[in-house]
Amino acid sequence: MKNLNFSLMGLFAGVGGIELGFKQAGFKPVVANEFDKYAGETYRMNHEHDLILKSIKDLEIKEIPKIEVLTGGFPCQAFSLAGYRKGFDDPRGNLFWDIVKIAEEKEPQIIFLENVKNLTGHDNGKTFQVIEKTLKEIGYFVKFDVLNSSQYGNIPQNRERIYIVGFRKKKLSENFAFPNEIKLTKKLTDFIDFENKVDAKYYYGKEKYMYKELSKTIKSSETLYQWRRQYVRENKSNVCPTLTANMGTGGHNVPLVLTKFGIRKLTPRECFNLMGFPSNFKLPKDVPDSQLYKQAGNAVVVPVIKRIATNIMATVLNEKLPSIKPANHSLFD
């Protein structure tokens, strides 16, 4: 591993949150793949390396340079344990197998995957059994854990995600540990503008059918609220509820705040703020808000990624880990 140059490829890249976190930890993203054209536009505004904008199923191995780190926040789809290797030919197109195919061909030293907290219970646990079995078969020693961004990223958002880290060398896997929990010191006011007026389209005025109920219930600027179809839910923990990909479609999953200028939903920029993207991260003006909300909701919390990537880097360099989570799980003994 002494000659490792930390070159990285991001799959299912979205707007590049994983690549950004790894870059902040010292890795070198060289190429990424994303299918969504709107996400691709945001990606290219913020990253210098190459983005291949096409379905992962259309990727050709010759398009991929030599890489030593492969990352991806892959979609979770059900597939059977009995016929798991047939997944490459599954007409439903289970995208995990495309990660496997690339890993087998390029043999990166490190794999990093991110998914929803409930991945281990998906399809009655069958999906995770397949992932565990397959990663082991293609030569990776893996650890995983579920981390909440409010506890591990100093970001006031309740966002739990599972992170899977795989090394081709068993010793590195044994030496690696996830970051320890840190105190949440940042407040909603560090990410949301309660003081200044934003575009009128974000406010919920009397023309909204739920306005009467909103105005009766939303009384505090210290927290966030959500419209839950027929009632208002207050997030009493004073952190933002999990941001979702369909925030831009309206309905019950839109976080609401009370500001000096009235009740409004979060702006796309504020959503990116609550995902830990830096203030200089650019949002294209010609992309619809609905797409920007989708991009934020599909993204990762960058500071959490950076902390995990920092521990990966320290493990490879045989340095003392900057922060260790004592109780961490191992897929393989």
Q: Report, as residue numbers or ranges, the catalytic residues.
A: 76
CB 325 within 8 A of CB 177: yes
Cα–Cα distance measured from residue 21 to residue 114, given in angstroms and rounded to the nearest whole number: 13
Residue 212 CB burial class (10 angstroms; 0-12, 13-18, ≥19): exposed
Q: Which helix (H) or strand (E) holds 137?
A: helix 126-137
Cβ neighbours around 126 below 10 Å, total: 16
Q: Which residues of 77-102 are buried (b: 16+ CB within 10 A; e: fewer)?
A: bebeeeebeebeeeeeebbbbbbbbb
Instruction: State the SS3 of 220-284.
Output: CCCCCEEECCCCEEECCCCCECCCCCCHHHCHHHCEEEEECCEEEECCHHHHHHCCCCCCCCCCC
Cβ neighbours around 309 below 10 Å, total: 28
Written as six digits, the tokens of 308 are 């995990």
| CA-wise closest residue to 10 among 99, 101, 71 | 71
CA distances from 297 to 18, 39, 59, 124, 202 (A): 14, 12, 25, 25, 17
Q: Which residues of 241-278 are buried (b: 16+ CB within 10 A; e: fewer)?
A: bbbbeebbeeeebbbbbbbeebbbbbbbbbbbbbbbbe
